[in-house]
Structure 1
Amino acid sequence: MLRSVIAGVDGSAESLAAAEWAAREAVRRGRPLRLVHAWGRSPHPPASVSARTARRAEAGRVLRAAVARAERACPGLRLLETQVQGPAVTALCRLAQDADLLVLGRSGRRGVGGLLVGSVARGVIDHTRCPVVLVRAGEGAAEEGAGRPGVGERPSERGPGREVVLGIDLGDPCDEVIGFAFDAARSRGCGLRAVHGWRDPSPLVLGPGEIGLLEDPRREEAEWSGFLTALLKVWRETYPDVPVVESVRKGNVAPRLLSAARGAALLVVGHRLSGRPRTGSVTHAVMQHADCPVALVPHFRSLARIGSWGPVGPCPSRSGRGTVT
């Protein structure tokens, strides 16, 4: 069975934007788009047949609106509709087991902490091993900039798009996350910006040969830059048509990622799976505040954390990394 791109829809402006974004992504991947609407079981189920019929009718209306949005974006795209009775998180996680990608609206509310990611999105992210993309209202049509790709037409044939930004943790680089970002850039015909940031660790956790790095910031930045260049060498060779810009700078990682991703086509970060729901501080920040679509790519922590030596050479320090998970 051909794997699909899935978009969860609930009738909100965010979910309609997600349906449009997912339609464009399905075209890039040569996959069908499956639109899913789940209407949960109420603690007080409808007492009459007419009430249950009304719920199903509302679910059908939500799906029809999403179908119309997707078809306007990508005429001729193969569309599948799925209506599920039950908790949305459970239904989406089950369907995502056989999907390439799951796309959701980044719905939420305004509060003390700013825009909060919706409960369904958070629940799915915490419990699925499928890459998840979060989209805000207005991001579905805006991502490509100009023109709408049709079925069989690559976005790169309409000119270059905005760049893809990759948040990379050089202390624990992950092939799944890096590969996802390079694939996204190549399919869009645009460049990739790899961003790494770090903070100084406590001298108590450093070895004798590493303490000198704290006394020479330029040397420290050069070491990190060299490590990033070495790490990306094989990826540049695999994707020679993707221009890459490397950005390494000391400081808080989240603000730098948010700044780099302003106006980007996509921001890609890792989401570490550890056997229990866990979202790192940097990932949490970009989920909340990034003004472009955010892709969260799940991965497991490496069995051997990179210490003084990484897979391609010496790593500047063993602690104080800007973890993008």
Structure 2
Amino acid sequence: MTEQPIVPADDGPRVVVAGVDGSATSLRAAAYAWGLARRSDARLVFVHASTVASLSTLTPAGANAVREAEAEITAELRATFAAAARTYPGVRYELVSEPGDAFGVISRVADERRADAVVVGASAQAGHRLIGSVAVRLVRTGRWPVTVVP
């Protein structure tokens, strides 16, 4: 058997998808993804999935409160990324904010954008040790390299 040389297809990822929800770990993941995109000259796609399935949405007032809270988080994320773009220019990025399960929305966007890498923050919720976090589910999917930032 002749040994074939390892030849990388590219120098790095061309599209990086990062899941963000406004938590401390997701913002660290966003910072890591920003640096990765900057160093690789990759396009960066932030994904914010707003979870709307809760008891509070059973009433019109509750549904409005949930929508307003999610809109506020999205606006804060937009402002955070705009500030990062001023401080660390040169990264082409977008923010996709959609209702739905985080795993499902991140997976769909990563597939649609043909992501070369997915970056998410580690979950701090104790229950995720039993049922699996979004990060674990993304890794198990096995369609992209996944970096989990603590």
Indicate the SS of the match to 1:184. Answer: helix
Q: 1:5-60 CA deviation, whole Å, 9 max, x = no partner? A: xxxxxxxxxxxxxxxxxxxxxxxxxxxxxxxxxxxxxxxxxxxxxxxxxxxxxxxx
Q: Which runs of 4+ in 1 moved over 6 A?
A: none
- 1:283-315 deviation line (CA, Å, top 9, x unaligned): 1210111411111112xxxxxxxxxxxxxxxxx
Number of the residue aligned with 2:120:
269
- The corresponding residue for 2:14 is 162
The whole-number CA distance in structure 2 between the counterparts of 1:281 and 1:264 is: 20
If asked which structure has higher relative contact order (CA below 8 Å, sep 6+), I would say 2
The count of residues paired between Structure 1 and Structure 2 equals 140
Secondary structure of 2:24 counterpart: coil
Contact 2:139 2:145 in 1 (8 A): no
Aligned: 1:247 with 2:99 = no
| Partner amino acid, structure 2, of 1:284 | V
In structure 2, relative to structure 1, the CA distance for the partners of 1:284 and 1:169 (3 Å cut) is same
For residue 232 of structure 1, what is the aligned residue in structure 2?
81
Q: Which residue of 2 aligns with 1:202?
A: 55
**Structure with the higher fraction of residues in helix conformation:** 2
CA contact (8 A) 1:221 1:250 kept: no
Tell me the alpha carbon deviations over residues 167-188 of structure 1, each in whole angstroms, 9 at most, x when there is no partner. Answer: 1122x13343122101111111
The separation in 2 between residues aligned to 1:176 and 1:217, in whole angstroms, is: 25
Distance of 1:289 and 1:193 partners within structure 2 = 19
Q: Is the 2:16–2:118 Cα contact (8 Å) retained in structure 1?
A: yes
Q: Contact conserved, 2:50 with 2:70, CA < 8 A, in 1?
A: no
Q: Does the CA-based 8 Å contact 1:224-1:248 persist in structure 2?
A: no
Q: Percent identity?
A: 26
Helix, strand or coil for the counterpart of 1:257? Answer: helix
Q: Secondary structure at the match of 2:122?
A: strand
State the TM-score, normalized to the length of structure 1: 0.37
* 2:145 matches 1:296: no
Distance 1:173 1:231, change over 3 A: farther
- Give the residue type in structure 2 aligned to 1:267: V
RMSD: 3.2
- Structure 2 partner of 1:21: none
Query: Given the superposition, is the C-alpha separation of residues 239 and 273 from structure 1 closer, same or farther in structure 2, using an over 3 Å criterion?
Result: same
Measured after TM superposition, the shift of residue 216 of structure 1 is: 7.6
Shift, 1:266, TM fit: 0.6
- Separation in 2, partners of 1:266, 1:225: 22
Say which of 43, 61, 66 aligns to 1:191.
Answer: 43
**Which runs of 5 or more structure 1 residues have no equivalent in the other structure?**
1-64, 74-140, 150-154, 156-160, 205-210, 299-325
2:40 and 2:75 mapped to 1: Cα distance? 28
Q: Indicate if the aligned counterparts of 1:221 and 1:248 stay in contact, CA closer than 8 A.
A: no
Residues 1:173 and 2:24 aligned together: yes
Separation in 2, partners of 1:225, 1:245: 12
AA matched with 2:140: Q
The 8 Å contact of residues 270 and 283 in structure 1, kept in 2 or not, is answered as yes
Aligned to 1:55: none
Superposition map of 1:24-103 within 5 A: 72-73=6-7
Closer, same or farther in 2 for the Cα pair 1:227/1:213, shift >3 Å?
Answer: farther
